[in-house]
Every structure is written in structure tokens, then in C-alpha cells.
Amino acid sequence: MNPEPKVKQALVSVKNLKKHFPIRRGIIFERTVGVVEAVNDLTFEIRQGETLGMVGESGCGKTTAGRTILGLYPPTDGSIHIAQIDVANAKADDLRLLRRKAQMIFQDPFASLNPRWTVSAIVGEPLRVHKIGSTSKERTDRVRAMLEMVGLSARHLNRFPHEFSGGQRQRIGIARALASNPDFIVCDEPIAALDVSIQAQVVNLLEDLQAQLELTYLFIAHDLSMVRHICNRVAVMYLGSLAELAESNALYEEPLHPYSQALLSAVPVPNPRAARQQKRIVLQGDVPSALSPPSGCRFHTRCPIAQPHCSEVVPEWRGAQPGRWVACHEV
């Protein structure tokens, strides 16, 4: 796990964030027939210089949350502030500054790079858009520096994405994200599409870059073991809502929320003797649809300790312990 960041001020502040997608039907007379509640009432902060992990099952809203925080999706409700910029209400100048100071590393290194552009054009595009560097030579020199920083070299400048491996493409994506000198980066499952042998290299690169450039990360991932390694704190999501948020070691050693307990019980243990002693929590039933989420606590349909009031009252997002937040009536 990364050491605690020295600076504790909040760089990113999210309060009561909601992102709903309307379902529409009809060609001429279009009508709304439902709403997908992809993200529902998220509240958390990310301190400057730290890595906040976001974990949960597929489809729980992690990627949507990350994109909404960056302003790629307009929020349905709530507030988002990044470096004191009001993302939801940003004007043109503030939005341009936000695009420079907050970037994203996408999950798929094969789909996130323009196949018709060279590496020089891909990494250099943020420099052109944000007018970084007064001459073409300055921008080319910065592109070279970015490539060297991520483990590539100047000989790759005029090559196209199809000439690289998956790990190299992800490095190009990282270089593009770093080109505008951002403070905050959303890492949307940056290692999920890579071979296991390459994943550790990319994670180590992200850690080195964070220490060198004082970056702040929102690290979205499925690999819970990797999240514990790289993240200072971890937020657990279920069906668009936060279930628990805590320091990494505290969460992994003693999860409070029943969903966190079930999720972490599925983490493989390298010691066979310890693995035999570990109690696996198997949840019953399927994840409900975000198109029609359960009333009250969204987890109550699968929760092993659910009580009658759990299906009626939405649990409060509250501080259960110092530095630890949970949404559960029974904790």
C-alpha cells in the first residue's frame, strides 16, 4: 500500500452525486419509459496526493461515477469540485482549466487510442489544445519527455497504435494523460485488459509517477489484491451507492458492511492453510436492476443480516469510526 500522503487537503469533493440515464422509446413521439439509476447519492473526498480505490461488482456504477466526476457525463444532481472548480456548473474557461488539471486513463488501451494518429499526434494533442509550448519543437520535446517518463522512447514517435502491445498502448495512454500536467487522474481499470505479467509493471509505473509528480488518483478496479497494494483508502460500491469507505488496511482486516465482508471473502489467499480456514460468504440471489432498484437499503435483498426496516428506510451515510464511513442500519 502507498504511504500516507503528506498533504491532507481535499483536492476532489463529491456530495450527493447522482447520475440517472432516462430510457426512451419511440421514433417520432419519443417518450421516457424508465430511468437507470447508475449512480445514486455518492459523497466522499479525495485528499491531495492520495489514491482512493473504488471497487464493486461489474455494473455497479464505478466507471459512470468516474466519468461524471470529470464532467464527461453531466450529473443529474449533487455537486463535484476538483481543485475548487465547480464541475457541474463550470463555464468555458473553468472547463478548459478542468480538462487540463483532471485527466482519465481508460480501461481499453486498444479502443482509447485513435488508430489513424501517430504516437506523436496522440500525446501531443493535449499540448495543442491547451497551448502548452510556444513552438512545435517545444511540444515535440515534451512529447519525447512524456514517452521516456512512461518507459518508451523517441523512436516510437512516428509509429501507430497497432504497432504496439497492450502494455505499450496503455503506457501511451498514460503519457497522453500526463501531457497537460494534471493534478488528478481517474484510472478506470487501467490494468484489466492487460496480461498478468504486465499489470504489475503498469501499477508500479503509476506509483512512481504519483511520487514524482504528486498526483492524486481515483483508482477503479476489480482486482481487490491490487487495490490494497496501491490505494490509501477504498470505497466499496453496490448498485450505484457507496456501502463503505475506509483506510485500506482497516477495510481489508475488518470490513463492517455485510457486502464488503462478502466481497473481501472472495479474495484469493496465497497460503493454502489460511485459505482453508477462511470463511467464504456466498450471497444469495442476483444483483437487482438499476432500472428498478429495491426500496430502502439497496443491498437488503441479498443481505444475510437484513431486518424488516432495511427494506423501508434508506440507510444514512455516516461515520462509524474515525476516518470510516458506512451505510448500514445494523452496523
Helix (H) or strand (E) segment spanning residue 107 = none
Alpha carbons 298 and 287: distance in angstroms, whole number:
10
Alpha carbons 88 and 73: distance in angstroms, whole number:
9
Q: What is the pLDDT of residue 31?
A: 83
Asked if 100 contacts 71 with a C-beta cutoff of 8 angstroms, the reply is no
pTM: 0.91
**Collapsing DSSP states into helix, strand and coil, what is residue 317?**
coil
Name the DSSP class of 180. Answer: T
Domains and CATH numbers, the chain: 10-231 (3.40.50.300), 259-331 (no CATH)
Per-run averaged pLDDT (10 residues), the chain, 331 residues: 60 96 84 89 95 93 95 95 92 91 92 94 94 89 94 92 93 95 95 87 94 96 88 96 95 93 82 69 86 93 93 92 92 84
Per DSSP bridges, beta strands 102-105 and 10-25 are unpaired
Asked if 48 contacts 213 with a C-beta cutoff of 8 angstroms, the reply is no
Q: Which residue has the cell 419519443?
A: 30
C-beta neighbour count of 286 within 10 angstroms: 8
Q: Which three cell numbers stand for residue 13?
A: 469533493
Strand partners, 324: 321
Alpha carbons 274 and 69: distance in angstroms, whole number:
39
Q: What is the pLDDT of residue 197?
A: 84
Backbone torsions φ then ψ of 89, nearest 5 degrees? -120, 25
Asked if 184 contacts 102 with a C-beta cutoff of 8 angstroms, the reply is yes
Alpha carbons 53 and 196: distance in angstroms, whole number:
19
Q: What is the pLDDT of residue 224?
A: 87
C-beta neighbour count of 90 within 10 angstroms: 17
Alpha carbons 331 and 237: distance in angstroms, whole number:
17
**Collapsing DSSP states into helix, strand and coil, what is residue 236?**
strand
For the chain, how far is it from start to end, CA to CA, in angstroms? 26
Q: What is the pLDDT of residue 5?
A: 47
Burial tier of 80 (Cβ tally within 10 Å: 0-12, 13-18, 19+): buried
